[in-house]
Amino acid sequence: MESTQTNTKITESKESEPSIWMFRFMVLIPVAIMLVSWFLPWWTINIEGFADNAAQIRPWGLELCGQMGGFAILMKGTEMPAWFGSFMWAFLGLCMLAILVGLFVRGKEFGFGKLKFNLSQILIGGVGVAYLFCGIFAAVYAGMRMKNTFDVPLQGRAFIDMGDPLIAYVDTYLLPGYYLIFVAGILFVALGLTRNKITALV
């Protein structure tokens, strides 16, 4: 018990207050990128001669444009479960809470074999890992659903026949909002791993 308290004091004594605040401001960069990516669409489909952005994938589900009108019924089966939107917003809220706690918590080291990480590193790096997993899972899952339902690739060009006027070529794209997932996730992980070195700077 005494050894643990001593280690915590040693860890905290190596941290300088200006460096801690510098680290906190650095973490705000991936936080901003994460929020920007969250509110941007991740994927879209353009139906040639009918509508651009006919359908878009956002973190909380699939959105259809007004031009789809009665043809929206043809997309039935591609929507996410009713609880999915609430689940994803809860996910974002938990990520923000974990980051907030991670920015201000001190000490509390945990060992993983020969590796040791403090709670701040685990929370901030963990958010990065979770968001990276979210991006990978979203692409894999959406790609499988699009292929199985409409034989359309996640990103590329294909021909669809869903009845006039939806007999056309379509172009599908992963959008900048999707790629920002990986920018934010990698930055969170990098900052989590290097936290102790950054906060020890004078």
Report the alpha-carbon distance of residue 183 to residue 171 in Å, rounded.
Answer: 25
Range with the poorest average pLDDT among 89-93, 153-157, 165-169, 179-183: 165-169
- Structurally, the chain folds into a number of domains equal to 1
Helices (H), 78-118: 84-104
Residue 71 has a pLDDT of 53
- pTM, rounded to two decimals: 0.83
pLDDT of residue 6: 44
Window from 27-41, 85-99, 119-133, 146-160 with minimum mean pLDDT: 146-160
Contacts of 133 (CB under 8 A, 6+ apart): none
Chain segment 107-118, per-residue pLDDT in tens: 777 766 677 889
Whether residue 34 is predicted with pLDDT greater than 60 in this model: the reply is yes
pLDDT of residue 79: 64
Residue 124 has pLDDT above 90, yes or no: yes
Q: What are the two backbone dihedrals, phi and then psi, of residue 60, each rounded to the nearest 5 degrees?
A: -100, 5
Its domain, for residue 53, covers 2-67+76-199
CATH of residue 187's domain is 1.20.140
Cα 169 from chain centroid (whole Å): 30
Please state the rounded mean pLDDT for residues 135-147: 89
At 31, the pLDDT band (50, 70, 90 cuts) reads very high
The span from the CA of 186 to the CA of 2, in Å, is 36
pLDDT at 55: 83
Q: Span 52-76, mean pLDDT?
A: 71
